[in-house]
Amino acid sequence: MPVDDDEALAEILDYEHVAVVGCSTTPGKAAHDVPAYLREHGYDVIPVNPYADEVFGREADDSLSGVDEQVDVVNVFRPSEEVAAIVDETLERDDVKAVWTQLGVRDDDAAARAEDAGLRVVQDKCMKVEHRRLTNRG
């Protein structure tokens, strides 16, 4: 079952290295503003976007499999129909602890595969909203 209790969400929010698949270069878009918020609150945000050279002054990787740095959480800002392939890439890594899909994004079959592999899964929740709510920070 995907994570939805506050204690488990807080544990996932304690992880530091977040690969944001679909990270946007466009201020005002959630896929830009949420990762910007995470950076402002101490997270190591790793942008993954094949159409961007860099985001936040950091080189963007074309795919999750191209990320050389440690990844604790894969945060997904892509349509639900792309989640399965992103989970496939995630399962090829040995460092990821959780997959988090943003508001409106879910794939129950992919979530079950990730959970079966030992990953924690959060679906259809905003990391920024949950961080603010659980840490009382803004």
Per the domain annotation, does 97 fall within a domain? Answer: yes
**Domain count along the chain:** 1
- CATH number at 35 reads 3.40.50.720
Residue 2 pLDDT class (50, 70, 90 cuts): confident
Per-residue pLDDT of 105-123, as tens digits, reads 999 999 999 999 999 999 9
Per-residue pLDDT of 21-72, as tens digits, reads 999 999 999 999 999 999 999 999 999 999 999 999 999 999 999 999 999 9
CB atoms within 10 A of CB 124: 14
Per the domain annotation, does 40 fall within a domain? Answer: yes
Three-class DSSP category at 130: helix
Residue 137 pLDDT class (50, 70, 90 cuts): low
Q: Is 112 exposed, middle or buried (0-12, 13-18, 19+ CB in 10 A)?
A: middle
Per the domain annotation, does 85 fall within a domain? Answer: yes
Three-class DSSP category at 25: coil
Domain enclosing residue 102, as ranges: 6-135
Predicted TM-score of the model (pTM): 0.96
Per the domain annotation, does 109 fall within a domain? Answer: yes
Q: Give the dihedral sign, CA 9/40/83/116.
A: negative
Per the domain annotation, does 1 fall within a domain? Answer: no
Per the domain annotation, does 77 fall within a domain? Answer: yes
Tell which phi-psi region holds residue 36, choosing left (phi > 0), alpha (psi between -120 and 50) or beta.
Answer: alpha
Using the predicted structure, report yes or no on whether residue 136 has a pLDDT greater than 80: no
Using the predicted structure, report yes or no on whether residue 138 has a pLDDT greater than 80: no
